[in-house]
Chains A and B, each alone.
Chain A
Amino acid sequence: MNESRTSFWRRLAAAAAWRERTVFMALAVLFLAVSAVNPRFAALSNVLSILGDSAYIGIAAIGMTLCIIFGAFDLSIGALLALLSVAAVTWAPVLHPVTGTAGFLAVIAMAGAGCGLVNGALVAGLRIPAFIATLGMMYVYRGAAFMLSGGQDQRLADDWFLALANGDLAGVPVVFMVFAVLVLLGTLLLNRHPLGRRIQAVGNSPKAARAAGISVPRTTLAVFAIVGVFTAIAAVLQASLLRGAQPGRGVEFELYVIATVVLGGTSLDGGKGSVINTAIAAVLLATLQCSFSFLTVNPYLQKIIIGGVLLAAFSMNYLRERAEQSRRRRAQRIKQTGKDKVTG
């Protein structure tokens, strides 16, 4: 009994760890390979800059991870990123004297949550599939970004705003520290908060969630609001990093973010995923981008490589699931024939 228990333990831990570790292993292999070609790649300053680069995609990807675990998508976040960064830059001179930095950030976060609630209301209230609802809102937010900015790029001059994302603490970029804190928060929210449990439950089976007394519409609203908040944080940091906002920015951003989540191993069917793995995937993609410049890869080829990495990651998910399924089926068959022999 004791022995079978440990071996089961070990088998399971091994399976789980392998799954968890794939992204991390890919990151390590890539990092070591490029460092071998060009040792300057491994310099601390370069590592820190890669981490900084991963941040704002990674932050948006935390919200998206929750959304995909919930069993939905949000295609509007690229346009929402543009709208919120334009709003942040244009409102900053007006709001900041009144609210202070913290208040200003809160207002932008609330705006993000509000936009997310609109998405959520379309999905939960009007029963529009998330894919279509957020596709529609993508155009609405994009149009709003252009209207708010009058179609002009917005330059950022406020020092306090520029300091938000451009500083570092003991060499570590502030954006990465914000990212790290949010990854921790996202992980806790998903696993150690009632809302996170409900999100997972609905992602596993909306029917079972309803039978367990969970309000699916309310959870939907919460999920999209969370996506909005994380998008708002990413928008503010991006505006600060790039010293301004452009209404046309962030096209394909949502797809890049979804790609990051998928690369992190979160199942597109929902129900299961890891914020930490998403974060590692964000770092992996930033590392890939950085290695392109170190290895002077043709920019057209870069896109092809990124696409290839995604396809490889996705096909690995499939192959792994198939292997697991056939293994389970075989085990069941063996168990079954054993039973038949005993009974028959």
Chain B
Amino acid sequence: MEETNNQSPLVSAHGIRKSFPGVVALDGVDFTAQASRVHAVVGENGAGKSTLMKVLGGVYQQDAGTVLMDGNPVNLRSPHQAIVAGISVIYQELDLAPHLTAAENIHLGREPRRHGVLTDHAAMSRATSALFEEMDVSIPADVPVGQLSLADRQMVEIAKAISRKSRVIIMDEPTSSLTEREVGVLYKIIRRLREQGCAIVYISHRFKEIFDLADDVTVMRDGRVVGGGLLRDFDRAAIVRMMVGRDVQENSRRTGQVGSEAALRVQGLSLQGVFNDVSFDLHAGETLGMCGLAGCGREEVARALFGLCSYDRGSIELLGKPLPPEGPAAAIRRGLGFLSEDRRSEGIFAQMSVSANMTLMILRRLAWRVSGWLSSAAERAVVDSHTVSMKIRYAFPSQEVRLLSGGNQQKVLLARILATGCRVLILCEPTRGVDIGAKNEIYALLRELNRQGVAVLLISSDLPEVLEVCHRAVVMFQGRLAGNLAREAMSEEAIMHCATGLAGGAA
């Protein structure tokens, strides 16, 4: 303890609050990072880690609270101001201009000048090469970064932060796209930065890295800091317990009849570098949860099943017949339904009416046989029956769907998919950004679908949700299935253990 207290914090945040429409992302967060230390920040998806880092990086402005550098309040109203204050953030989605070279990216906005006007390219690439040499990486300074590997681009980002003389360097999941060897290089760079007096804030889901690198740890959950201190005072289990937090209550999972035949059978599904050898069965009348942390590959598996992205190896069997990789239309025809996690760009048609949104996938069924025109009566019947059965609230059927609440938009989407009469449903984060009332109605709907024999694959980051609605759960870690938990074995802790690569929990 004494180590921490002796040193004054380099950067500290007090009482940070930040809310977005419908969500409180940060609820009075205190956070400090000290010079010459690596500070790990951990938490489940949506715990508020990235939001906090965006506040420190000047991307978001907090609703309340203050940020101090060396004990002096700083006003970070833009990323530029954060950089001037000495804080650099390296985001998961790298922030480089792909057509510019590494040298140009690193010096963007502060290019060395010749005669006051011309960019001094020679000086720029000399400085960049020197910087790379110092970091002990071999990256060409004069190649557009778009042509570099992801790992090299990450190094360019770090070089950018170093060249700006940043004293606080925040890394958000820096290793998610790196190979083992590259991780080693990153370790070395981080340790050197620490020796030079930088404060490194390190966000990661990987416990191994945290225990390899970090001196301090902060655990976040639901927009609050729930624990932390010197890392050596904690073990993995203690941190997982804090991340999950809630007392694991006796869950209310129902005991429905689950069919024995597989509605969806996935065998050895692989996509180079994304997911590997994924196999599972989904039975009729069952809801199977698919868990895992961001970047574990579960969304990609779901998209591959539906034909929205390709796979290299493996086979998919739907309702007893092989499902060829022919794209979404073919999958829909064979009885598969898919709800994207990205409602706004891959779900609703914002400027179309509620009824047009709902009937889009069954237009052929609503059209008159000969003339091909849509039958108003048939359309209204479909819309009315789903509106009633799913309790969808809107002003009138020709209302634009963008004017509905998130929960009602989600129900409209579910109605669209269910109208096709699909027997297997893949739902990605169906209750994200949905209010609690609609959430419960969606859960009830899932139960009803199960009762009718529909099989549901539920991809969700919301562990209580998985516990409440799923019969079983599979957990992914780094592109592989790391756990297959039967109903009795399912708990938030067990899922988190598998999701962080701690346990290969077989059922």
Residues in B363-401 with C-beta less than 8 Å from chain A: 363-364, 367, 372-374, 376, 395-396, 399
Count residues of chain B with CB under 8 A from any CB of chain A: 37
Q: Give the residues in chain A near B399, CB-CB below 8 Å.
A: 12
Q: Give the residues in chain A near B345, CB-CB below 8 Å.
A: 205, 207-208
Q: Give the residues in chain A near B333, CB-CB below 8 Å.
A: 213
Asked whether, in the complex, the Cβ of B328 is within 8 Å of the Cβ of A213, the reply is yes
Asked whether, in the complex, the Cβ of A208 is within 8 Å of the Cβ of B347, the reply is yes
Q: How far is the CA of A200 from the CA of B359 in the complex (A)?
A: 13
Q: Give the residues in chain A near B403, CB-CB below 8 Å.
A: 12
Residue of B306, B347, B352, B372 with most partner-chain A CB within 10 A: B352
- A192 and B374 contact, Cβ closer than 8 Å, known pairs A197-B360, A212-B416, A213-B361: yes
- Contact of B351 with A by CB under 8 A: yes
- A193 and B374 contact, Cβ closer than 8 Å, known pairs A200-B352, A215-B329: yes
Contact of B352 among A201, A207, A336 (CB under 8 A): A201
Asked whether, in the complex, the Cβ of A213 is within 8 Å of the Cβ of B349, the reply is no
Contact of A204 among B24, B351, B372, B396 (CB under 8 A): B351
B26 CB, nearest partner CB in chain A, Å:
13
Q: How far is the CA of A207 from the CA of B396 in the complex (A)?
A: 26
Q: How far is the CA of A209 from the CA of B349 in the complex (A)?
A: 8
Interface flags for B137-152 (1: CB within 8 Å of A; 0: not) read 0000000000000000
Residues in B387-430 with C-beta less than 8 Å from chain A: 395-396, 399, 403, 416
- Contact of B34 with A by CB under 8 A: no
Asked whether, in the complex, the Cβ of B308 is within 8 Å of the Cβ of A204, the reply is no
Asked whether, in the complex, the Cβ of B346 is within 8 Å of the Cβ of A208, the reply is yes
Minimal Cβ-Cβ distance residue in A for B349:
A204
Interface flags for B342-359 (1: CB within 8 Å of A; 0: not) read 000111111110001001
A7 CB, nearest partner CB in chain B, Å:
10
Q: Give the residues in chain A near B332, CB-CB below 8 Å.
A: 213
Asked whether, in the complex, the Cβ of A272 is within 8 Å of the Cβ of B360, the reply is no
- Contact of B21 with A by CB under 8 A: yes
Q: How far is the CA of A145 from the CA of B373 in the complex (A)?
A: 36
Q: How far is the CA of A292 from the CA of B346 in the complex (A)?
A: 48
Residues in A258-272 with C-beta less than 8 Å from chain B: 271-272
Q: Give the residues in chain B near A9, CB-CB below 8 Å.
A: 395-396
Q: Give chain B's interface secondary structure class.
A: mixed
- Contact of A214 with B by CB under 8 A: yes
Minimal Cβ-Cβ distance residue in A for B338:
A211
- A272 and B351 contact, Cβ closer than 8 Å, known pairs A210-B308, A211-B308: yes
Minimal Cβ-Cβ distance residue in B for A193:
B373
Contact of B374 among A194, A209, A212 (CB under 8 A): A194
- Contact of A332 with B by CB under 8 A: yes
- Contact of A341 with B by CB under 8 A: no
Asked whether, in the complex, the Cβ of B361 is within 8 Å of the Cβ of A212, the reply is yes
Minimal Cβ-Cβ distance residue in A for B367:
A194
Q: How far is the CA of A8 from the CA of B396 in the complex (A)?
A: 10
Q: Give the residues in chain A near B21, CB-CB below 8 Å.
A: 332, 335-336
Contact of A214 among B329, B346, B351 (CB under 8 A): B329
Q: How far is the CA of A213 from the CA of B396 in the complex (A)?
A: 26
Q: How far is the CA of A209 from the CA of B352 in the complex (A)?
A: 12
Asked whether, in the complex, the Cβ of A200 is within 8 Å of the Cβ of B348, the reply is no
Q: Give the residues in chain B near A188, CB-CB below 8 Å.
A: 373
- Contact of A159 with B by CB under 8 A: no
- Contact of A3 with B by CB under 8 A: no
Residues in A211-226 with C-beta less than 8 Å from chain B: 211-215
Residues in A266-290 with C-beta less than 8 Å from chain B: 271-272
Asked whether, in the complex, the Cβ of B349 is within 8 Å of the Cβ of A205, the reply is yes
Q: Give the residues in chain A near B356, CB-CB below 8 Å.
A: 197, 200
Q: Give the residues in chain A near B361, CB-CB below 8 Å.
A: 212-213
Contact of A192 among B327, B328, B376 (CB under 8 A): B376
Q: How far is the CA of A281 from the CA of B185 in the complex (A)?
A: 64
Q: Give the residues in chain A near B328, CB-CB below 8 Å.
A: 210-213
Interface flags for B245-266 (1: CB within 8 Å of A; 0: not) read 0000000000000000000000
Q: How far is the CA of A317 from the CA of B407 in the complex (A)?
A: 30
Q: How far is the CA of A215 from the CA of B308 in the complex (A)?
A: 12
Q: How far is the CA of A212 from the CA of B306 in the complex (A)?
A: 11
In the A-B complex, the 4 residue pairs with the smallest Cβ-Cβ separation, listed nearest first, are A194-B363, A204-B349, A213-B329, A272-B351
Q: B interface vs A, CB < 8 Å?
A: 19, 21, 24, 306, 308, 327-329, 331-333, 338, 340, 345-352, 356, 359-361, 363-364, 367, 372-374, 376, 395-396, 399, 403, 416
Q: A interface vs B, CB < 8 Å?
A: 5, 8-9, 12, 188, 192-194, 197-198, 200-201, 204-205, 207-215, 271-272, 332, 335-336, 340, 343
